[in-house]
Structure 1
């Protein structure tokens, strides 16, 4: 999002966060209702334009939201009305912001229930499974398949194995990708989870599983370097042979044996 949209997005979500934090188990229903609004906006260009029209008074747009969606949870209606009353650089940014509000409701529910660690771990595990199983990733991201077919595949693969919050987040990513790639969308969810916990994410690839002591030492080193608490997510890939590869945001530190062999090969060829 660009300037005006980002400012509106952040301001409304800041006001919404304590509302869903206090909502407890209702967070899942609030999220479902917000996603229903997103789907309505995605299917109607005229509605998107009506709620993002800068020439239309904010109170009129908020009144339209109440008129159209007044049967939904009042907390969902209120935040959609707040988004509609704000100003936007692009009309599509309204729906994207409401989508983020739905995810925020799910994260707040998991946090209130004390299960956000579980959700984060499960999201990371699913991201690694999809990254390593190409056929499954392609099938789940197949836009020519129906929403129901993609969700059935998710259920067949992971049904009953996930926390309800994780399942709700992944059902949205797989069923209604909204132009996002599945793995990219899950990575974004992981970043939002870490941010909610005041952490940054370090994605670590290692030839062997790291011990608790090694994870703690690595987290300490990275936290010192970046000035933030660090969430360490480790993927074990024996083909890297040895060493570790660490990625924090766009920065990558590659110390794997495979990387060193590649460097040596390039030097020989050069």
Structure 2
């Protein structure tokens, strides 16, 4: 987001944080309601245009939200949406994107309260790796031409795959992503969720690939080294790939820190060829 939309999202995050700081608020229920609102805004493009029209007074748009959603969602969600539509948005889609982010964050808060945020981050990463290694599963979950009946069956399949095997927040996040991809690939959506989870506690995410599983001591040393390098806590998403031939490769955002034998061999081959 840029300009006014970025400012509007920052203000929405502050209001959201103040809301979920109240332990009486159920973040999982909040996530479900905000997810429903995201789907509504995606479906009803004229409504989204009205709610982001800069020529309409903010109070009028807030009143419209109250009339449309009263009795459909909780008062907390109505208040959040009313604050959102009072703000200015550069693009109509930015409003729906902001609501979606708040929905995902609410599920992340639910995991954090349950002491399961580390597990959720790891499960999101693992699910992404499963998709990468199973083209058939990925195809089954991403067919956008599927009928309503097929989409329902797909959701049922996903719940059977995940139910009891991952934390509840992970299941809700992945199911919502599959049901509402919103033009993204599953991989992009999972990456966005992982970053959101890391940002929730001001951490970075490092994808670490090694030839063999790292010991607990190695993981602690690597985490401490990356924290010292970046000046903030770094969550490690660990993967094993025998093709790296020893050493480790670390990706943090767009930066790659590689110390694998395979990379050193490739570098030596390039120098010889040169």
| TM-score (structure 2 length as normaliser) | 0.93
SS in 1 for 2:164: coil
> CA offsets per residue over residues 105-133 of structure 1, 9 Å max, x none?
11112212222222122112212222232
SS in 1 for 2:104: helix
In 1: Cα distance, 2:196 partner to 2:11 partner = 16
Report how far residue 138 of structure 1 moved: 2.9
SS in 1 for 2:250: strand
Q: Which residue does the alignment assign to 1:29?
A: 29
Q: Quick one: which of 173, 179, 187 aligns to 2:177? A: 173
| Preserved CA contact (<8 Å) 2:159 2:171 | no
| Preserved CA contact (<8 Å) 2:19 2:25 | no
Note the residue ranges of structure 1 that are not aligned, 5 or more in a row: none
Q: Quick one: which of 213, 224, 227 aligns to 2:228? A: 224
Q: Which residue does the alignment assign to 2:115?
A: 114
| Preserved CA contact (<8 Å) 1:24 1:112 | no
How large is the Cα RMSD of the aligned pairs? 1.6
Q: Which residue does the alignment assign to 1:94?
A: 95
> CA offsets per residue over residues 71-124 of structure 1, 9 Å max, x none?
111111111111111100001000010001111111112212222222122112
Q: Which residue does the alignment assign to 2:8?
A: 8
SS in 2 for 1:55: coil
Q: Which residue does the alignment assign to 1:125?
A: 126
Q: Which residue does the alignment assign to 2:55?
A: 55
SS in 2 for 1:252: strand
Q: Is 1:64 matched with 2:64?
A: yes
Q: Is 1:74 matched with 2:75?
A: yes
SS in 2 for 1:42: helix
Report how far residue 224 of structure 1 moved: 0.8
Q: Which residue does the alignment assign to 2:105?
A: 104
In 2: Cα distance, 1:23 partner to 1:86 partner = 27
SS in 2 for 1:209: coil
> CA offsets per residue over residues 137-173 of structure 1, 9 Å max, x none?
2322222235324323322432321111110000011
Instruction: Say which is worse superposed, 127-136 or 204-213, in terms of deviation.
Output: 127-136
SS in 1 for 2:182: coil
Aligned length: 270
When residues 166 and 25 of structure 1 are mapped into structure 2, their CA distance, relative to the original with a 3 A threshold, is farther
When residues 112 and 18 of structure 1 are mapped into structure 2, their CA distance, relative to the original with a 3 A threshold, is farther
| Preserved CA contact (<8 Å) 2:125 2:194 | yes
In 2: Cα distance, 1:246 partner to 1:230 partner = 12
